């Protein structure tokens, strides 16, 4: 024990954990590298199935200019770390050039319709995180911790699934 009653720090430990800061404080991007060339949204949309499904969550939750949306964008980026988002008119486009996955969200009948293609269902992953976030009572950033260890780094909350954070690429 040290003078504060705490066990001494272990400099040889390869694990570390720390809380996120509240608000919109941001020290670094979720990406550890420059984003790959996105291409054109029309190219990605042409590769999607014709039949959309009703979206459970609105993209407005991550697009809005609010403190909560700022936090939700970070959670969404953690759920689909290689995806990029752009809006053309009313249509929101997500594209992941690493996996070849894409999604479009289009407003319809007071809600949103989503079309997804590729090996990763981008919007479905984001919906899963947003659903878990809502079920957990919409916790603020300070309720989350980053856990770093030999095998990687994760964003953690006791009531949400662990979200892997990107590792630096060589």
The confidence score (pLDDT) of residue 151 equals 73
Of 56-60, 126-130, 137-141, 165-169, minimum mean pLDDT range: 165-169
3-state DSSP helix/strand/coil % of the chain, to nearest 5: 25, 25, 50
3-state secondary structure of 113: strand
Tokens for 1, please give them. Answer: 């024990």
The confidence score (pLDDT) of residue 2 equals 42
pLDDT at 155 over 90: no
- Kindly report, residue by residue over 106-153, the tens digit of the pLDDT: 999 999 999 999 999 999 999 999 999 999 999 998 898 888 887 788
Q: Identify which of 96, 101, 102, 123 has the alpha carbon closest to the alpha carbon of residue 37.
A: 96
- Kindly report, residue by residue over 5-52, the tens digit of the pLDDT: 555 555 545 777 777 777 766 655 555 555 666 678 887 888 888 999
Higher pLDDT, 2 or 107: 107
Q: What is the helix (H) or strand (E) element at residue 106, kind and residue range?
A: strand 101-108
The confidence score (pLDDT) of residue 1 equals 41
Q: 153 — phi, psi (to 5°)?
A: -145, 140
Residue with tokens 């590792």: 167
What is the C-alpha to C-alpha distance for residues 117 and 78, in angstroms, rounded to an integer? 19
What is the C-alpha to C-alpha distance for residues 163 and 143, in angstroms, rounded to an integer? 14
């Amino acid at each position: 024990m040290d003078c504060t009653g705490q066990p001494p720090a272990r400099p040889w430990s390869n694990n570390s954990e720390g809380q996120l800061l509240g608000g919109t404080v941001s020290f670094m991007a979720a990406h550890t590298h420059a984003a790959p060339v996105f291409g054109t949204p029309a190219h990605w949309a042409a590769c999607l199935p014709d039949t959309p499904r009703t979206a459970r969550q609105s993209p407005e939750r991550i697009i809005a200019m609010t403190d909560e949306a700022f936090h939700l964008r970070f959670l969404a980026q953690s759920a689909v770390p290689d995806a990029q988002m752009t809006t053309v008119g009313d249509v929101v486009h997500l594209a992941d050039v690493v996996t070849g996955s894409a999604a479009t969200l289009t407003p319809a009948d007071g809600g949103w319709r989503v079309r997804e293609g590729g090996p990763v269902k981008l919007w479905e992953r984001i919906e899963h995180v947003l659903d878990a976030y809502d079920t957990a009572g919409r916790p603020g950033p300070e309720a989350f911790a980053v856990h770093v260890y030999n095998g990687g780094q994760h964003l953690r909350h006791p009531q949400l699934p662990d979200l892997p954070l990107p590792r630096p690429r060589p």
